[in-house]
Structure 1
C-alpha cells in the first residue's frame, strides 16, 4: 500500500460534486422536453443558466488548483476531470438550445430513440453525481465506471437506430439536417460521460 502524504482538501471534491449535480439538473431539463405543452424556450434558458453555473465551478476549480501548493491527487488529473465534467454540460446545453432554435419540438413528436438517449444520459448523470463524493476515499467506484461504460454502449445503439430512422425518408431533408446536429450532441454527451468515468478509473488506479 502506498503511503499517502498529501493532506486532504475537501474543497476539490466539493467542486466535482457540484459540477456532477449540475449534470443531473441538465438531463432532468432535457427530459422535460418530452412533456406535453412544455415551454421549450424556458427549458432552454434554464439549461443555459445551469451551463453558466458549471462554467463558474470549473473556473473556480482551476483557480483553486493554481493557488494550491499541494493537491489531493495529480494536478493534471484534477484539470482533466474538471474539464470533462464541463464538457458534458456543454453538450447537454447544446441539445436544448438546438431543439429550441431549430423549432424541432414543434414536430408532431420527437423520435422515440432520441428520448431513449436522453434516458441513458440521465442514468449516466445520476451515476456520476453519486460517484463524485466517493473520490475522497477512492473506494467503491469500480461499479460506477463499469456501468457508465455499459450505458455508453446502450446510448451508441440508440444513436445508430436514430440515424437509421432519420435517413428512412420519414423526415424532410431540412429536418434531417437539423436533427442530425442534435443527435450528434447527444452522442457526444454519452461519450463525454464515459470519458469522465475512464478518468476516474485512471485516478483510482494511480492513487491506490
Structure 2
C-alpha cells in the first residue's frame, strides 16, 4: 500500500511575511518624508507602487486559499490576516495621497510622532510573521502593538487639539486633519492585525 504525503502549505507564511515587508517599506517611505522632506507627489507615486505590490500578495493568498486543500490554520483566519495586512497598506497609501492632493507643505502637528509609531509597528509585525509557523513567542508582539496603539491614540488627540487651537484657518484644518486621521487609521489597523494573530494563536494552541 502506498501513502501520499501532503506537503505543508508553507507558502501562506511566506506571503504573510512578504506583505508585512511591504508595510515596512511603506512606513519607511513616510519616515523619509518626515525626516528629510521631499516631493509629496513622488511620495504618493512610490507609495501607490508599494500598495499595488501588497494587493498582489493579498490576491495570491486568496488564490492559494481557493486552490489548497490543506491549510496551516483556519481558512477564515488566513483571509482575515491577509486582509488586515492589506488594510494597513491602504491606510498608509491614503495618507500619502492626502499629503499630495492637499498640497500640504508643512506637516500637520503630530505627524512625525505618528509616523514613528507606524515604523515601529511595521517592524514588529514583519518580525512576528515568521513566528506564525510555530505560534511561539508572539505574546510580546501583540502586547507591544497594543501599547503603541495607545501611544498613537494620545498623539492623535493632541494633534486634533493643536489643529483646532486657532492657529490654522478652517480649510487648512480640514486638509491636515485628513492626513492625521488616516495615519491614526493605519496605527489602528496594525492593532487589528495583532489581534487577529492573537486569536489565531489562542485557537491553534
TM-score range, shorter chain: over 0.9
Structure 2 alignment gaps of length 5 or more: 1-5
What is the aligned partner in structure 1 of residue 186 from structure 2? 189
Q: Distance in 2 between matches of 1:35 and 1:155?
A: 19
1:94-173 matches, cutoff 5 A: 94-104=94-104, 106-107=105-106, 110-173=107-170
Task: Quote the offset at 1:136 in angstroms.
Answer: 0.5
2:69 aligned counterpart, secondary structure = coil
What is the aligned partner in structure 2 of residue 78 from structure 1? 78
What TM-score results when the alignment is normalised by the length of structure 1?
0.93
Q: Distance in 1 between matches of 2:35 and 2:143?
A: 31
What is the aligned partner in structure 2 of residue 13 from structure 1? 13
What is the aligned partner in structure 1 of residue 67 from structure 2? 67
Q: Distance in 1 between matches of 2:75 and 2:161?
A: 43
Q: Distance in 1 between matches of 2:109 and 2:170?
A: 19
Q: Does 1:92 align with 2:92?
A: yes
Q: Distance in 2 between matches of 1:136 and 1:36?
A: 38
Task: Quote the offset at 1:198 in angstroms.
Answer: 0.4
Q: Distance in 1 between matches of 2:61 and 2:129?
A: 14
What is the aligned partner in structure 2 of residue 3 from structure 1? none
What is the aligned partner in structure 1 of residue 30 from structure 2? 30
2:152 aligned counterpart, secondary structure = helix
Q: Distance in 1 between matches of 2:60 and 2:203?
A: 25
Task: Quote the offset at 1:135 in angstroms.
Answer: 0.2
Task: Quote the offset at 1:36 in angstroms.
Answer: 4.1
Task: Quote the offset at 1:37 in angstroms.
Answer: 4.8
Task: Quote the offset at 1:111 in angstroms.
Answer: 3.6
Structural RMSD (CA): 1.2
Return 28-37 or 7-16, whichever deviates more. 28-37
Q: Distance in 2 between matches of 1:171 and 1:8?
A: 57
1:69 aligned counterpart, secondary structure = coil
What TM-score results when the alignment is normalised by the length of structure 2?
0.95
1:155 aligned counterpart, secondary structure = helix
2:110 aligned counterpart, secondary structure = helix
Q: Distance in 2 between matches of 1:24 and 1:79?
A: 21
Q: Distance in 2 between matches of 1:112 and 1:172?
A: 14
Task: Quote the offset at 1:45 in angstroms.
Answer: 0.6
Query: Aligned residues, how many?
Result: 200
Task: Check conservation: 1:7, 1:72, Cα contact below 8 A.
Answer: no
